[in-house]
Structure formats: C-alpha cells, structure tokens
C-alpha cells in the first residue's frame, strides 16, 4: 500500500498545473483519506480521514489554527489538534486486555517563518483530556522551484514528554503477563521525513497528497508492546476552493 501511495504522488507531480487558478482568493478546504502503519504488536494499519485546509501564505501550518501578530515573513498562532498516536493501539488482539486509552485533544501554540528556500514551524501542544503530556515539533519544509506541482519535502524533529510516551507504550503492574513485562517510558525523541504535494487540476479543485516515515528512539522502541519503531504513513484527497 505504501508503494502504491508513493507511485500515485509521483504521478500527480507529472500532471500539468493550473498555477494561476490556485492563487485565486477564497477558502480552499476539503478532505483526505489517511493510512498509517501501527507501531503496536499485532496492530492493524489505521485508516481514517482528516480535513484539508490550503492557503496561499506558504507557512504550511497544519490543522485548525487562529493566527495573530502576523507579517508576510512570520506568523504566530494558537489552535487545537489530536495526537498522531492511535489510542486504540491498532485494535491489537494481543493488547486487548490492557486498560483502554482516551483520545488526546491538544491545545497548540506555535510560530512559522519564511526562509530563503522554504519555511520553518515550531509547534508546542499540551493535551487536556488524556495523558496531560506535552509535545514539541520543529519542522523545516523546502519548496522546490521548477516543479509542475507544489512539491514540498520536509523534515521534522519531535520531543514527546514522559507523560505522553508512558501513556501509549508503558505497561503497568496490573497489565503484566508472560512476554509482557512492566515498562515505564521516559521522554522520547523522534525524527520524521516526508513529502507534501498539491496539484491544481482545475479552477477550483486541487489534489493533495503526503507520504512520510517516522522513527522513534529507544524510549519507545524498548517497550514490550511496540513492534515497529519506524512507521510509514500517508494521505490523499482533494480540496475545493469556494
């Protein structure tokens, strides 16, 4: 599946663009189907969806946000979002006897800056419903000149607090069984790399896609309920300019 997604993104990048149409005023919103590999033992790949919100400011700020103190070169924002971690542990039959997890809802604050060849964002998120942990993400996105479509490779460094990592990958004393010892996770680091693509196909429609891979450090990979410390993900959808 991940190879099919990458091939589809490559095909989109070869289509002729309608650049003049994409710069028109209006709301550019839509929906994308998502898929991500489960890091959990015997977990299923997660299928889902997410809203698409495109803009022409080139800041590449993800999710619903409200900007303030903005200039053409930088922007600060507040917003909300969900953890990228699956609170259902990939519906793993092996882990069904563990306690249920709640969905984390984060309050976010961050900033975005335009650079010579791309842009940078720093995003701090604090959960208010589940683990009460925090995470920080710093991303650099490069814009490639001369492409038919808006192709943007990116790299992202992540810091996840101990409250957050232990919530997802820890094993409490009452969850221990043969082959699953107790485990308490510390704060963790992760590195993510990916490719974003926006391909205008008409005056109002834009195809969007993403492919990415994320690698986690030993604080997560050493957990007995984690099977994959490097996971892939992707999305594909369409946005409509109103």
CATH of the domain at 100: 2.40.160.40
Among 225, 220, 230, CA closest to 186: 220
**Rounded-to-integer distance, Cα 51 and Cα 226, Å:** 29
DSSP for 12-53 reads HHTSPP-HHHHTSSS-EEEEEEEEE---BTTPPPEEEEEEEE
Query: How confident is the prediction along the chain (242 residues), in pLDDT tens digits per residue?
Result: 444 444 444 444 444 444 444 444 556 888 999 999 999 999 999 888 888 887 767 788 888 889 888 898 999 999 999 999 999 999 999 999 999 999 999 999 999 999 988 899 999 999 999 999 999 999 999 987 655 557 889 999 999 999 999 999 999 999 999 999 999 999 999 999 999 988 888 888 999 999 999 999 999 999 999 999 999 999 999 999 88
The domain tally of the chain equals 1
Angle at CA of residue 61, ends 46 and 155, nearest 5°: 70
> How many Cα neighbours within 13 Å face the side chain of 187?
8
**Rounded-to-integer distance, Cα 51 and Cα 155, Å:** 22
pLDDT, position 100: 97
Q: Print the domain residue range for 50.
A: 2-241
pLDDT, position 184: 98
**Which tokens go with 98?**
């563990």
DSSP 175: G
Task: Write the burial class of residue 174 (CB in 10 Å: 0-12 exposed, 13-18 middle, 19+ buried).
Answer: exposed
Report the SS3 class of residue 178: coil
**Rounded-to-integer distance, Cα 224 and Cα 231, Å:** 17
Q: How far is CA 169 from the centre of its chain?
A: 19
**Rounded-to-integer distance, Cα 216 and Cα 219, Å:** 8
């Amino acid at each position: 599946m991940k190879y099919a997604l990458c091939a589809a993104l490559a095909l989109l990048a070869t289509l002729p663009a309608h650049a003049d149409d994409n710069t028109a005023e209006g709301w550019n919103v839509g929906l994308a189907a998502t898929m991500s590999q489960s890091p959990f033992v015997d977990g299923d790949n997660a299928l889902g969806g997410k809203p698409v919100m495109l803009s022409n400011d080139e800041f590449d700020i993800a999710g619903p946000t409200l900007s303030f103190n903005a200039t053409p070169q930088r922007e600060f924002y507040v917003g909300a979002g969900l953890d990228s971690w699956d609170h259902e542990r990939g519906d793993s039959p092996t882990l069904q006897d563990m306690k249920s997890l709640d969905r984390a809802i984060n309050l976010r604050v961050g900033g975005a800056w335009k650079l010579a060849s791309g842009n940078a964002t720093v995003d701090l998120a604090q959960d208010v419903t589940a683990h009460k942990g925090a995470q920080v993400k710093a991303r650099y996105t490069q814009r490639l000149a001369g492409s038919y479509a808006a192709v943007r490779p990116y790299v992202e460094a992540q810091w996840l607090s101990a409250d957050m990592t232990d919530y997802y990958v820890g094993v409490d004393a009452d969850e221990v069984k043969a082959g699953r010892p107790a485990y308490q996770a510390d704060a963790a680091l992760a590195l993510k790399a990916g490719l974003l693509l926006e391909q205008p196909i008409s005056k109002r429609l834009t195809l969007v896609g993403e492919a990415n891979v994320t690698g986690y450090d030993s604080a997560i990979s050493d957990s007995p309920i984690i099977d994959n410390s490097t996971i892939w993900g992707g999305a594909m959808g369409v946005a409509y300019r109103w």
